[in-house]
Chains A and B, each alone.
Chain A
Amino acid sequence: MSTATRLRRPDDTPDSHLFPTRPYDLVKEFVVALAVITALTVVLAVAFGSPDRKAITLRDWADAAPADVVATATAELAGTSASAAYGGPYDNLSDGQKIGPLALEKWAGVHVPVDSALDLVIKPLVRGPADRALSAALATWHGAGATQRSKWAGAYGDALAAAPGNEPARVKGGTYGPVPVLATRFLALARSGGLESLLVGSDAFYSTDQTKPMLLLSDGAYLEDQARAEHLGGDQWGMMNESGNYPGQPWMWLYTFWYQVKPFSTSGNADALVWGLMMVLTLGLLLLPFIPGLRALPRHLGVHKLSWRDVRGAGTVTRQPAPPAVRRAR
């Protein structure tokens, strides 16, 4: 018999119905398990409750970190925010991340179109309450070319970053066009509490899609600052946790683990690479019964002896180990 033939030998695990049996009350086992799990659930819920930290509204953001709102609006107008030129599924201004030659993000296309300057700043200003200064600023913005717009917004963004405390009131003079008016009116709009609905759209009475408000909030620094204070940062094992001292999603530990180690922690394609790796590992787990070597691992680890400590005494017969030449992975 060749080695290849031996490796392909069919699984000879006997039918479980051929073994001697003993009484076993499955229904009783289930009912007891249900009672124990229910009792444990009640005890844990009474003892620890569950976290429910209120969602951050754009008004909260504007009240707590007005300079951040102005800086974020300016970055949207300049096209320098995280969501500007993001790639799929929001726009096709970049290829997005890749796994080697696989540009999955680009290939999936634009399914949730978002123009960050237009959709996240200009449209809400147009839809909101108007006055002469704002109307003039919007007219100037619309009348300028793309290069001029980004030059104005870029210069104002740099000036904000250089100002003490990043405060708009302490920005040095410069050629910023209508951007200071647009940004400060955007802050006023956020403070009024009406920005969320203006972002979602005036024709969306029943809308549940929060893509635009969430992109805007994520572009700012305030949300991440709050998350880091709760130990939820990406380098703090991120989204497997939840606010407060709660277990969160510990079953996602392997996914978030890869973000903590090189090359993923320093790669510009980290998300795509981690997903690619997790897909391979998941496929491996799924197809474990067919992978030579790995499928034989449990036999050699010997942990099964804890579950089957008394097989002989239980009335079954243990087969003698086959000679080394014939033994193979099952």
Chain B
Amino acid sequence: MTATKPRTDQAHREAPSWTSRTRDRVRRTVPEGQWLPDRQPVYVRSWIYVFGVATLAALLVVLATGFVLALEGSQWWHVSSLGHFVNSLHLWSVELFFACMVVHLWGKFFMAAWRGKRALTWITGVVCLLGSIGTAFTGYLSQSNFDSQWISGQAKDGLNAVGVGAFFNVLNPGQMLLWHVVLLPAVVGVLVVAHIVLVRRHGVVPPFDAVPPADATDPTTSGEATR
């Protein structure tokens, strides 16, 4: 009997901790090597794939410019030329964000990118779009200018007509600003992370009717998780 054997037996008897279970769960969700792969399937060779990453890049610019606006407060951009320029950066990064996201969405639609157990990836992407529309909308309501007045006056009737206005008052700029800078960005942020995790977990959807070579083995089960 060796000196180490009792410790090994003891280790085997120990129940898995919450930490080890969490680690195993994370490892199973996206195996090591799939988080930041330096290789992609050979069929990934089109400009359409760039728009997902471009959407993410635009989101970062939106967040960065919004962060600067938030630092100085909601009235800053009305009274400062620098503030107005930052607001312009925020506006145009939002326009680019949506442009990239819509192209990305259409690209994934035409690929039927929900195939191969990717339905949840599609759903999180669509909810990201909806959350982003809500975030942009509350941004327009938080501008405290003529556009805010007109858009809120018009939007209240639609929201009230289906009962939403009882809880989401577009005529209350304080409530809309909090939705714009806290609640909706948090939701969109979580969904974006979930969407990216799902993309990395399942990989890029193969073309219609494409089959892998006959000698292919699944690297995630054979230990070669480099893709």
Contacts and interface: CB of A to CB of B under 8 A. Distances in A.
A49 B60 CA distance: 20
Contacts of B122: 288-289
A29 B50 contact: yes
Interface in B48-104: 48-50, 53-54, 56-58, 60-61, 65, 77-78, 84-85, 87-93, 95-96, 98, 100, 102
A11 B33 CA distance: 26
A217 interface: yes
B207 A17 contact: no
Interface in B104-155: 107, 109-112, 114-119, 122-123, 126-127, 130, 133, 136-137, 140, 143-155
Given A19-B43, A37-B54, A301-B110, A51 B147 contact: yes
Contact of A307 (B110, B119, B164): B110
Q: Is the interface of B mostly helix, strand, loop or mixed?
A: helix
A311 B211 CA distance: 10
Interface residues of A, number: 113
A40 B88 CA distance: 12
B41 A88 contact: no
B46 A22 contact: no
Given A97-B161, A239-B151, A282-B130, A210 B171 contact: yes
A48 B89 CA distance: 10
Contacts of A87: 160
Contacts of A202: none
A286 B123 contact: yes
A55 B53 contact: no
Contacts of A306: 46, 48, 110
A299 interface: yes
Interface string A222-233: 010011000010
Given A15-B116, A17-B203, A271 B157 contact: yes
Interface residues of B, number: 108
Interface in A5-56: 11, 13-27, 29-30, 33-34, 36-38, 40-42, 44-46, 48-56
B161 A18 contact: no
A210 B95 CA distance: 28
Contacts of B162: 99, 104-105, 271-272, 275-276, 279
B95 A247 contact: yes
A38 B61 contact: yes
A209 B78 contact: no
A105 B206 CA distance: 46
B45 interface: yes
Interface string A43-76: 0111011111111100000000000000000000
A20 B41 contact: yes
Interface string A308-330: 11110011111111000000001
B204 interface: yes
B22 interface: no
A149 to B, nearest CB: 26
Given A23-B38, A99-B162, A111-B169, 7 more contacts: A37-B58, A49-B85, A105-B160, A207-B174, A209-B172, A316-B41, A317-B210
